Structure 1
C-alpha cells in the first residue's frame, strides 16, 4: 500500500485507510492487478458502517484486531471500468452493487451449506478478522471478484443503491424473524440498520412497528420509513408494555437486548442483530426460560441482496430518509466524525 508521499509506479486510487487506533488517513493506494476473474470498478459511493468506525476509534472491531494498515469499506457501489478477463461478471460500463462476502471452508467446521454466511472461513471486505487482512473498497478504483458484483436495474440511482448492503443485512434479519405479516414488531435501536429493518418490516406487512432509540433524531428517521410509534430507549416501562410478537435488537448493547426481551410477549421471538462486544454479556436468561422466548441470531446476509435490489428498483423499499449526510472522499475524516455522532446522523455516505 503506497502512501501519498510516495511516487506511484502503478495505477493508483485515492482510498481511506485505517492505520491504527485514532489514525485514519486519506491516501494514494495502488490498484491491485486484477486476476482473470476480477473486474476493475470505479467506486461511486461508500456507506460508513459501524465496523469502519470501530477500526478508526478502537483499532479493532470486536475480536478483529487491526495489525497493519487496512483499506476500509464494504458498503460500495460503482461502475465496471474493466470487465473480468475470463468473461464472468458484468460488462464494462455496467453499474453495480457489491456483495462483500467470500464464503470459505476455513478450519472445516460444520455449517449449513445453504447458509454460507456461517461458513467458518468466510471473509468480508474491509475486515481484520484474518491475517493478512481483507482490504475493503473505500477507494476511487478497486479490483473486485466478478462474482461479488450485482448489476443495477435502470432507474435505480447509484446513490440509492449505496444502501443495498446494509438493507440486505436488515432483510436477512427480518427473514430470521419469520412471517411478520399482521404482527406487532418492536425494533430496538434506530441507527441505519434499525431504520432499514423498519422499512423492510413495513414492506413485509407488519401490522404495527414500534421503534426505540436514545435520541429523537433517529426516531424521526424511523417514523419516516414506516414506524407507527416511537419510544425513547430510556422509557423502560413503555417498552416493557409493548407486548410485541417479535422484537429485533439492533443497538448492539446488552441493555438493548434486555429491552427486547422485556418488550416481547410470552412465547415471542427476539432476533439479535446488533453485534455485542466479545466475551460474556449479561442477559435475562431466566425471563427467556419462563416466557419460552426464542432468541435467534442474525449475521450478515446471503442472496437477500438480489431481493433488496429489486425492491429498491420498484420503489417498494423506502430508504431515502436513512441517508443524512454525504461527503467527498477528501472529507473522509469529517465524514467519520459525523457518522460517530448517532444523535445527529443516520447513514453517512462517502462520494468517490
Structure 2
C-alpha cells in the first residue's frame, strides 16, 4: 500500500508500505478515504518539526481522516463492513493519573497519530489502509461526504474550546484568527447559541468563509487596525473571546475587548509572551486553555453527518496522493486555501 512519509523538511515521499494484517479481536481494518492537511503537518513539511519536536525517523503524516470499514475483528459489534467512519487519531492510555481523573486529552502516555512527540514516532493516517482499535473508528450516523467527515478532528478541537467557555447562549463572542480552527470555532459557537459573533483576521480572504459559517461581523484588522475599537469601549463589550492565533498582540487585544468578568479561551498555540495581567486582575477575567478533545470527537461526527452543522466550503481543494507536495504548498497559503485534503482512495 502507499503512504505519505516525511523524512525531513521538504523531503516528502509517497512510499510503499506493508499492507496491514487482518484485524485482531476488537480491531477493524480501514481503507482511508480523505485526509486533511493540518498546521502541524505543515510544520513537519516546512521545518521538520516545531519547537523541540523534530522528525527523527521517517514518519507517515496526517491525523485528520475519514475511512470505510473493510474488515472487522472478533467481538466488534458496533461497526460493519462498508460503514463510513471518521478516524479518531487520539489514543489515551486510560491508566495514567490524568486519564483516571477523566482528563483523557491530557494523557501522560498519549499516542496521537502523525506525531513526532514520542519515539518511535506515532505513524499517521495518510496511508491507504490501516488497522485500528474499533473505538477509534466513529461511524457516521447518516450518509456523509467523506471530505466533510474528515473535518471531525479539527471540529472536535473547536467543540472542546466552546465547552471550555461554558454557556454561550446569547453571548457576544469574538474569534481572533480565521484559519481552519477559527472558522470551525465560529461554527461551534453558533451551534452553541452565541448571540453575536465577531470574527477578525489580518488577511481578508478567510473572513468570507467565517461569515458563511456564522460570523455576524467580519473585521480585517490587517488593513484596519482600529476595527475592534468599538469592542473596547467602556471596559469592553465582549463576553467570550476565543484566540485561535497564539499571537501576543491578538491576545492583548482580546483582553482589551473583554468586558468585566468575561472569559478568554486560548486555543492557538504560540510561544512565551508578555501577558496583560493587570487587566485580567482589574476586570476579573477568566482565562482558560483548550487542548485537543475527548468525547467531542463523537459529537463532531454526529453533527457533521446529520447536517446539524454545515461545514461545506471548508475544503478548498482535494489532491490525489501523488500530488502531495502541490497540496502541501497550497495548504500553506492562507490567501488561497482554507482546508486542503488528500484523496487516499475512493468511497
TM-score w.r.t. the length of structure 2 is 0.92
* CA–CA separation in structure 1 for the residues paired with 2:99 and 2:64: 26
Matched, 1:307 2:273: no
Q: Counterpart of 2:205 in 1: which secondary structure?
A: helix
Aligned residue in 1 for 2:326: 334
Q: Give the superposition deviation at 1:164.
A: 1.0
Aligned residue in 2 for 1:67: 56
Q: Give the superposition deviation at 1:237.
A: 3.0
Given the alignment, which residue of 13, 16, 22 partners 2:4? 16
Q: Counterpart of 1:120 in 2: which secondary structure?
A: coil
Whether the aligned pair in 2 keeps the contact of 1:55 and 1:61 (CA below 8 Å) is yes
Matched, 1:318 2:306: no
Partner deviation per Cα, 1:239-277 (whole Å, 9 max, x = no partner):
243221000011132222222222222221010111113
Aligned residue in 2 for 1:42: 31
Whether the aligned pair in 1 keeps the contact of 2:164 and 2:290 (CA below 8 Å) is yes
Given the alignment, which residue of 235, 244, 257 partners 2:251? 257
> Which residues in structure 2 correspond to 1:178-327 (within 5 Å)?
178-234=166-222, 235-242=224-231, 243-277=237-271, 280-327=272-319
Aligned residue in 2 for 1:101: 90
* CA–CA separation in structure 2 for the residues paired with 1:314 and 1:251: 30
Q: Give the superposition deviation at 1:191.
A: 0.4
Whether the aligned pair in 2 keeps the contact of 1:185 and 1:244 (CA below 8 Å) is yes
Whether the aligned pair in 1 keeps the contact of 2:84 and 2:139 (CA below 8 Å) is yes
Partner deviation per Cα, 1:15-73 (whole Å, 9 max, x = no partner):
11111122111221223434433321111100111111111111113443211110011
Whether the aligned pair in 1 keeps the contact of 2:142 and 2:306 (CA below 8 Å) is no
Q: Counterpart of 1:196 in 2: which secondary structure?
A: helix
Aligned residue in 2 for 1:134: 122
User: Larger deviation: 191-200 or 28-37?
Assistant: 28-37
Q: Give the superposition deviation at 1:111.
A: 6.1
Q: Give the superposition deviation at 1:118.
A: 1.1
Aligned residue in 2 for 1:5: none
User: Larger deviation: 183-192 or 232-241?
Assistant: 232-241
User: Larger deviation: 319-328 or 233-242?
Assistant: 233-242
Given the alignment, which residue of 159, 165, 176 partners 1:171? 159
Q: Give the superposition deviation at 1:294.
A: 1.1
* CA–CA separation in structure 2 for the residues paired with 1:236 and 1:295: 24
User: Larger deviation: 67-76 or 301-310?
Assistant: 301-310
Segments of structure 1 that go 5 or more residues without pairing to the other structure are 1-12
Partner deviation per Cα, 1:71-128 (whole Å, 9 max, x = no partner):
011100010112124436522211111111111268x555662221012111211111
* CA–CA separation in structure 1 for the residues paired with 2:52 and 2:290: 18
* CA–CA separation in structure 2 for the residues paired with 1:181 and 1:290: 25
* CA–CA separation in structure 1 for the residues paired with 2:106 and 2:139: 25
Question: C-alpha root-mean-square deviation of aligned residues, in Å?
Answer: 1.8
Partner deviation per Cα, 1:129-178 (whole Å, 9 max, x = no partner):
11111001101111222110111123322122111111111111111111
Whether the aligned pair in 1 keeps the contact of 2:84 and 2:144 (CA below 8 Å) is no
Whether the aligned pair in 2 keeps the contact of 1:240 and 1:264 (CA below 8 Å) is no
Aligned residue in 2 for 1:148: 136
Whether the aligned pair in 2 keeps the contact of 1:31 and 1:143 (CA below 8 Å) is no
Segments of structure 2 that go 5 or more residues without pairing to the other structure are 232-236
Number of paired residues?
Answer: 337
Q: Counterpart of 2:200 in 1: which secondary structure?
A: strand
* CA–CA separation in structure 2 for the residues paired with 1:314 and 1:154: 6
* CA–CA separation in structure 1 for the residues paired with 2:77 and 2:56: 34
Whether the aligned pair in 2 keeps the contact of 1:20 and 1:55 (CA below 8 Å) is yes
Matched, 1:349 2:341: yes
